[in-house]
Amino acid sequence: MAAAFCIAAFLISLYIAHFVYKWRNPKCNGLLPPGSMGWPLLGETLQFFAPTSTFDINPFVKQRMKRYGPIFKTSLVGRPVIVSADSDLNYFIFQQEGQSFQSWYPDTFTEIFGRQNVGSLHGFMYKYLKNMVLNLFGPEGLKRMLPEVEMAANRDLKRWSTQNSVELKDATASLIFDLTAKKLISYDPEKSSENLRKNFVAFIQGLISFPLNIPGTAYHKCLKGRKRAMKKLKAMLQERRANPRKQQSDFFDYVLQELDREDTLLTEGIALDLMFVLLFASFETTSLALTLAVKLLAENPSALKELTAEHEAIIRKRENPDSSLTWSEFKSMTFTFQVINETVRLANIVPGIFRKALKDIHFKGYTIPAGWAVMACPPAVHLNPSRYKDPLEFNPWRWQGIDMNGATRNFMAFGGGMRFCVGTDFTKLQMAVFLHCLVTKYKCQAISGGEILRTPGLQFPNGFFVQLSEKVQSGQEQQQCMI
């Protein structure tokens, strides 16, 4: 009896040892990059998600870059992953989309964005997404939208300036969400009984988080929000179907028209998933970037001064200072675009861009086995001191002389290659217009908060509270003097 037990125990330990050995030494037809696979199953997941409060490269990545170099292996949320902090490999990954690599995101993304999510948007789904977004957010769409963006920014700024303090992250999120939802689905928060945006809260945290679906976790909150938002979107789509409009003007009209076509591959489920992704992708990212921009400007008076001068000059050049922004004025905001680039470089709102290797890939002497996940790491590129001097410094002027050859190798805040962010121009428009309205009309005083936290997605755990006060217009002053 005792002997049998001993043999069983021996066999079990042998099996476990074998499992652990295989876990630590994955199969590969070539040389795997160095790195540790961590604990069986858990991998190095906990280390990866450990919160940090710096603008610097995630310590998880930084330590391993030091130890192993810019390409290393690890295991995250149960998957073997090659992490790339190497700008050449990142570039290669972007260029090889659909050939050697395919978009792939961890299960947290799939569950939250729906199975027909942005991550699995290859081929035909992709076509719908691109068309739809270009329809609304392409150059022509943006030109049409400019006055609306300006009006919304002015309206909200005016309201905030009557309050003792505003929490900027939430306030800009609401501004941008309402604007985007109006464009996409003609959503009017004033006429709606339910607050649609509430369901999107805590998303970035939930997306790039440990996939533990129990009450209290960011992931759980996220899934619940998704369910409610999807229900609401579905009801709205059905209502539109029952009351179609004559002229196609928003995303719902586009979807209904597509669904009616005989040869269509679009389904209602896919369309709703797409809409969900777009609503999310558009407001959470841009409001983080805007909040950070205002914080960085408040901390860098010389940058704020130059930005203000650029926008005051735009108004001075006009015949009527109260006329609204024109497209060519928008295009002339050189320093503003430098501020925006510098902000998103430091923000690293997307800390990892995920792909899956479709076949064995040989690169710089290493082999990435087919089926493995690859995480391109934008922060490592954006904070590389050999490309960006004093990388942690907010220095919009650095963009002045920067050689933009090989831009995608050294700047990937919006991704690169075929899957380059379709909302880039929309984001830049919203940020530039908001900054224009802010610096020409208001003084902005930081009150509290503004600390950042990364898990590894960017957050403002204490918000960022500011007080806005109306500027005395220099033009008016002069007029008064003359009278």
Does 394 sit near ligand NAG (CB under 6 A)? no
Does 84 sit near ligand NAG (CB under 6 A)? no
Q: Which is nearer to ligand HEM, 58 or 282 (CB)?
A: 282
Does 403 sit near ligand NAG (CB under 6 A)? no
- 464 neighbors 446 (Cβ within 8 angstroms): yes
| Helix pair angle (268-299, 218-242), 10° resolution | 120
| 101-103/79-84 β-pairing | unpaired
Q: Name which of residues 100 to 139 contact ligand HEM (CB under 6 A).
A: 103, 118, 121, 129, 133, 137
- Per the DSSP assignment, residues forming a β-bridge with 443 are 469
- State which residue has the least CB distance to ligand HEM: 423
Distance CA 366, CA 259 (A): 46
- 239 neighbors 226 (Cβ within 8 angstroms): no
Q: Which of 367, 427, 455, 459 binds ligand HEM (CB under 6 A)?
A: 427
Q: Name which of residues 254 to 283 contact ligand HEM (CB under 6 A).
A: 277-278, 281-282
Q: Is the peptide bond before 385 cis (omega within 30 degrees of 0)?
A: no
- Dihedral sign of CA atoms 123, 129, 134, 135 in order: positive
- 69 neighbors 88 (Cβ within 8 angstroms): no
According to the annotation, is 421 in a ligand binding site? yes
Nearest-approach distance from CB 227 to ligand NAG, in angstroms: 37
Distance CA 333, CA 319 (A): 18
Nearest-approach distance from CB 103 to ligand HEM, in angstroms: 5
Does 407 sit near ligand NAG (CB under 6 A)? yes
Does 375 sit near ligand HEM (CB under 6 A)? no
Q: Name which of residues 331 to 370 contact ligand NAG (CB under 6 A).
A: 337-338, 341
Does 91 sit near ligand HEM (CB under 6 A)? no
Q: Which stretch binds ligand NAG (CB under 6 A): 121-129, 167-175, 399-407, 455-463?
A: 399-407
Q: Which of 177, 399, 434, 464 binds ligand NAG (CB under 6 A)?
A: 399
Nearest-approach distance from CB 431 to ligand NAG, in angstroms: 12
Does 420 sit near ligand NAG (CB under 6 A)? no
Does 286 sit near ligand HEM (CB under 6 A)? yes
Which of the listed partners (ligand NAG, ligand HEM, none) does 337 bind, with a CB threshold of 5 to 8 Å by partner kind?
ligand NAG
Binding-site annotation, residues:
421
| Binding-site residues for heme | 421
* Residues in contact with ligand NAG by the rule CB under 6 A: 337-338, 341, 399, 404, 407, 411
Residues that bind ligand HEM (CB under 6 A): 103, 118, 121, 129, 133, 137, 277-278, 281-282, 285-286, 289, 344, 349-350, 353, 413-415, 419, 421-423, 426-427
